[in-house]
Amino acid sequence: MISLKQALKLSASQISALRAELKEKIKANNELGAYIEQLTNTDLSEQYSGVPIAIKDNIQVKDWAITSCSKILQGYIAPYNATVIEKLLNAGLAPFGRTNMDEFAMGSTTESSFYGKTLNPLDHTRVPGGSSGGSAAAVGAGLAIAALGSDTGGSIRQPAAFCGCVGFKPSYGRVSRYGLAAYSSSLDQIGPITQNVEDAAILYNIIAGHDEKDSTSLNQNFTPSAPALNPNRKLKIALIKNYTDEADAEVKNAIYKAADALKSAGHEIKQCQLSSAKYAIAAYYIIATAEASANLSRYDGVRYGKRADCDNLKDMYALTRGEGFGSEVKRRMLLGTFVLSSGYYDAYYIKAQKARAFIAKAYASILDDADLLLMPVTPNAAYKFGELKDPLKAYLSDVYTVSVNLAGLPAISVPVAKNADGLSISAQLIGGAFNDQSVLDGALCLEQMLKN
C-alpha cells in the first residue's frame, strides 16, 4: 500500500484512481469487517475529494450516518464536520468510509459493535483489538492508507499493536475532540493509525492544534512535528522493568530486544519500576464509567437516534435505552451511575481521582530523569475470539495502556517483532505531557533500527 507521504504527492487524477482501487479492495475483503460503510453505494462517496483517510464511526462527518456502532443511533445523520475532518479537508485529505468499532468505544475487541465483529488481518480467528479495531484492521490489511481512531484507555495503541501497524495517542488537548462522540471526556483523544511512524507524524500535524470549539484544547501555538522528525536525537529512555517482566515470554523478549536496538543507536537505557500499576485499572474504570454515565444520558429517544414506541415518557426512556444499548455499554453505564450515586461518590469516585493524581505523579517522577518510557502495549499478542469472555479479565488486559490516558501523556505503539504464530508484537513509547516530538523521534529511530 502506498504511504501517506507518497499519496500527498499524487495528482488529482492519481488520487481518484487510488480511491477507486481502494473501493475494489474493500469489496474483495468485505469478510474482514473493517468497514461498516464504504460509501460505495451512495453519492456520498464522492462528496469529499482528496487523499482517502478511513474514519472511525464516532467522528462526525457531515451528511454521513455516524452511529458509534450502536443500535441507539441508527438513523442519525451528522449535521456538521468534526474539527479533525475540517483539518483533513483543508490539507487535501478526505474522509473515506466508516470503520467498525466497539459500541461507543467501550471494549477491547470490536466484538460489541452493533454491526458485528472485525477480524484480525493477520489471523482471522483472533481479535483485532479495540475499540478502534476497524481502523487498525483496515490499515493492517492494506485497505486504508491511514485512519483516524480514538483512544480513551488504549483504543488506538492496542488495536494497532494487534494488527501490526503504528498507533499514536497524542497528549490530551493537542487534538480537538469537537465532533467526537464522547465516552469519557477527560480521557478521550483522537489520533492516527498508520503504516509507519513518519505517516503518523504527518497525519498528527494535520489534525493537531488549538480549537476554540473544544474547551479542553491546548491554547498555545502548535509546532509541527513531521518536519522536525529526528531519529538521530540521543534520548534517555526508561525501560519499565516490572511491566515488561510481567508480560508473556515472547512479548518480554521483544521489548528487551527493542531496548537493545535503541541502546545500539546511542540512546541511554535505564531500568525503572512504575509503581502505579495496581491502581491504574481500578481508577480508570471508575472514572471512565462515571463520565460515560453522564455523557450517554443524552441518548434518551428525545433528541436523536432510535426511539421506542411507548405510551408515556418514562417507558420511552427505559425502553429506548434498554433496546438501543448493547450489554457492554449497559454494564459500564450502570457501574458509572453506581460510583456517582449518593453514599458511594466519596468512597469510589473521589478515591479514583486521587489515584489518578498519584499515577500522574509516578510518571512525572520517572520523566524528570528520562525523555521516554519503554514498555509493552499489551501483556500478550492478539488472542482468539471468545478467549476473554469474563469482562473483568478483558478489563485487566488494558493494564499497560490506561494509565497513559489518566496522566494525559503522549504514547505510540510500534511493531517490533512477530511471535511464533506470526502475530505482531509492539513496543510502547511514552513521553512527558506535550512532549509529543520526543515520542515520535524515538519511535522513528526504533522503527529504522529494526528494519536494518
Burial grade of 244 (CB within 10 A; 0-12, 13-18, 19 or more): buried
**Exposed e or buried b per residue across 90-106, where buried means at least 16 C-beta atoms within 10 angstroms of its C-beta:** ebebbbbbbbbbbbbbb
One-letter amino acid of 44: L
| Beta carbons of 70 and 32 less than 8 angstroms apart | no
CA-CA distances (angstroms) from residue 427 to 118, 199, 247, 286, 443?
Answer: 23, 18, 12, 27, 9
Stretch (H or E) spanning 238:
strand 236-240
Of the residues 108, 112, 113, 131, only one is catalytic, namely 131
One-letter amino acid of 162: F
Is there a catalytic annotation at residue 155? yes
One-letter amino acid of 445: C
Measure the CA angle with vertex 245, ends 242 and 251; round to 5°. Answer: 130
One-letter amino acid of 132: S
Of the residues 5, 56, 62, 87, only one is catalytic, namely 56
Is there a catalytic annotation at residue 131? yes
Is there a catalytic annotation at residue 171? no
Task: Give dist(CA 357, CA 273) in Å, integer.
Answer: 18
- Range list of H helices, 51-210: 83-90, 133-140, 157-163, 197-207
Task: Give dist(CA 109, CA 349) in Å, integer.
Answer: 27
C-alpha cell of 399? 493494564
Of the residues 150, 155, 276, 293, only one is catalytic, namely 155
Question: Which residues are catalytic, by number?
Answer: 56, 131, 155
